[in-house]
Structure 1
């Protein structure tokens, strides 16, 4: 029986012949198959993002109010001029948003870094400690807000009772005009610091031990090893943590609304841009103005993302 052998040159000619006989659209699809397979999901996500943003942008250019189906007139940038000139509600809300985001982010990064460094090296009972630290992430923000609202209640709350045990007077906590915002920041730090711990701990465990050992041999102290070895190596991970948590903190709504209700309190003491836009939409039905606030807020978030992403590229 004759045996047919195929030499490399023959196989190459056969492959070329097959390729040449394949229709052009099939060759194009084969070259771009990764994009073709991903395109349905990409289109779906793009539609989910583009349509709400485009609709909100359209509403921001109208005087829509009462109902989104009611007739409205095109007013151009009149809403933007009114919002940007509002020094009673809009700009104070912007300031509170910046203070809230910057404050909780700074506290969570510092505390998260400290806790992650403590959990970096193995120790007895570390699994139980990690579980205890991650417990705040289990509850929803609304439940957390309601729980702390009871704890900080000026009459029956445990917080003032503990202060009384140590001889300190009652503190207004959420009831005070100037203490409400710091108190809500404390609640946010309590719940979301574990998220920073998870991210930074993952980054720390991926670092090589060789730079640490070399610095230790050279006589570097613990602070010097952290400042000149650990922190620079951890910087890309730290930037990611700042990006994720910073954008999430900018959009905080659940805790603020659960603890202070409509308008961020009687004196709007915790009214951030999210709470302000929500009130305009669902309390006053001013959809045109609220859409304007949301578009401005959206631009602030995009600008923040761009700034942190640029910093991440520099760190990398």
Structure 2
């Protein structure tokens, strides 16, 4: 199934079922008014929603044209948003660029931080910030939404509790990060509101591309109209989503609607001549990683962070070039 939340003046939006080809949507508030409600009552409502979804795809229901511009993030707010660094290549590049060794434990114990989940940005809404001198960066990621997950669960159980998959733009303020990390308490001001794809999908919608709790498609980032990165989300993912969920639940329960992010999607590349799209590489899912590679090759970065007016588009396509989740499309604008 594919779900979206339309803006309706309420905090949690109006739940919509979206056709597989993302052309048609139908209001299913008679079954579940919001996506969080559907997740809270999944075992009672999933079959009803699935039946309605099949009717929509078969053309037996009269829907409306799906409009991504009307969407909130699928969960406009969530009980939990925890983001990991599952692509350890990204972390390794960060540390190499500043001449620091990476602890061996980073390959066996996931990094994860707890983000703000009370105010997500819609997938077509502007990224509004007080200053563009804070090192504004996009981060293209994949995330899953869980059912209830018990404390100390196994990876097998964690895999069974994955209900939905979606894309993320985890906005980062790179120039604020060093000062915050130096305090020893982690991110806060440097991680403003994130945004998620217009549509969240059940794992079965991915078919064979959902294997070993990883999404096996390329994640495309188009920055100011130019393809910036298309790494493969199923490659070089050191920790899969089952492992990330089990890590998050080591000492706490996770409740239905918890979101677990992959961190910046990053592939290992030959850096001898650079790894940009135009240089034969797969590019990058954030500006910071490109700057790291520039530092390693030329001793200093040359790509600036985002400025007011810059635009980012994040999308994942099937092998037949059909959009799976719809696109995150955003422009950076100043706070009035």
Q: TM-score, normalised by structure 1?
A: 0.23
Which is greater in Rg?
1
Indicate the structure with greater strand content: 2
